[in-house]
Amino acid sequence: MIEPFLSTKTGQFSYFSKQLHLASWQGKEVLDFGGNIGNLLRDPNSTIDEERYWCLDVVKEALERGKLLHPKAHWVFYNRYSFSFNPNGVVGLPIPDLGREFDLIVAFSVFTNTKPSEMFELVEQLKAKLTADGTLAFTFIDPNHWSIGDFHASNFQWRLEDERKRGLLTEREKYDLLRRAQFAEWFMLVNGKHLSVESEAIEPSVEEKTCYVFHTEDYMRSHFPDAAILPPVNNEMQHCCVIKKGYLALPDKSY
């Protein structure tokens, strides 16, 4: 029995409002995909209308916690399989129909734990849930980016150092992983020490518990050519991929 994951992270609203240059979300229908206990809504700077906030997540306990704090918002359990968060869920379950379209769909640190094939599939499904001029924004971690802060090294070095401090890696193993990942467009670090470089294959003997997925900016640009790929803000380490539905429509031929 794994402990349900309850996120204590703060600052998500401030992050997305800065990335989207949008301070007031009043009157907007908002879907927080992988929103956990609703930290986006709980952010002290949040301008989201509680009754227009929808949180979808694969962790039932997180949604129950969110509902206690914000009963007027909408908390929807999505029983999709996720090895880290919902190992008893249904593999490949489509996102449920919520009976509405959304002006804003955001996902903070969800595709940082999701295999790329699933990310591409879920992004397509989320795009279909936007209003005609709606926006989808989600974060990803570029392994080579040096995030602002006290740690003067790349995001991947930061992750490996964290795993080393937890006793999962030796100094030697850490440098070996850095060397193997250095030119990769994307890769996954499973259970803090198994590296899958540009492959979703994981050794059968490895029982997955954690999976950190890293994508370079260039990789995201090539896979989401209609998106804006923005560097981190507010001292966060995550980049933002912003897709505006209005920009996806074919231009008027007479124009």
Ligand X SMILES: C[S@@+](CC[C@H](N)C(=O)[O-])C[C@H]1O[C@@H](n2cnc3c(N)ncnc32)[C@H](O)[C@@H]1O
By the criterion CB under 6 A, which residues form the site for ligand X?
A: 5, 7, 9, 12, 33-36, 39, 56-59, 62, 78, 80, 82, 85, 108-110, 113-114
Query: Which residue's beta carbon is nearest to the bound ligand X?
Result: 34
Smaller CB separation from ligand X, 83 or 178? 83
Distance in Å, CB of 154 to ligand X, minimum:
20
Distance in Å, CB of 123 to ligand X, minimum:
11
Smaller CB separation from ligand X, 178 or 202? 202
Distance in Å, CB of 208 to ligand X, minimum:
13
Burial track 129-165 (b if 16+ CB lie within 10 A, e otherwise): bbbeebbbbbbbbbbbbebeeeeeebbbbbbbeebbe
Smaller CB separation from ligand X, 125 or 222? 125
Distance in Å, CB of 170 to ligand X, minimum:
27
Picking from 61, 70, 121, the residue whose alpha carbon sits closest to that of residue 92 is 121
Please tell me the distance from the alpha carbon of residue 51 to that of residue 27, in angstroms, as a whole number.
10
Picking from 150, 152, 146, 178, the residue whose alpha carbon sits closest to that of residue 164 is 178
Smaller CB separation from ligand X, 33 or 224? 33
* Edge-to-edge order in the sheet of strand 194-197: 194-197, 186-190, 211-215
Picking from 144, 89, 141, 88, the residue whose alpha carbon sits closest to that of residue 111 is 141
Distance in Å, CB of 167 to ligand X, minimum:
22
Length of the chain, in residues: 255
Distance in Å, CB of 251 to ligand X, minimum:
33
Write the CA distances from 6 to 1, 95, 132, 147, 166, integer angstroms: 15, 21, 33, 25, 20
Smaller CB separation from ligand X, 41 or 171? 41
Smaller CB separation from ligand X, 80 or 145? 80
Judge whether 29 and 100 are in contact, CB under 8 Å: yes
Q: What are phi and psi of 124, to 5 degrees?
A: -60, -45
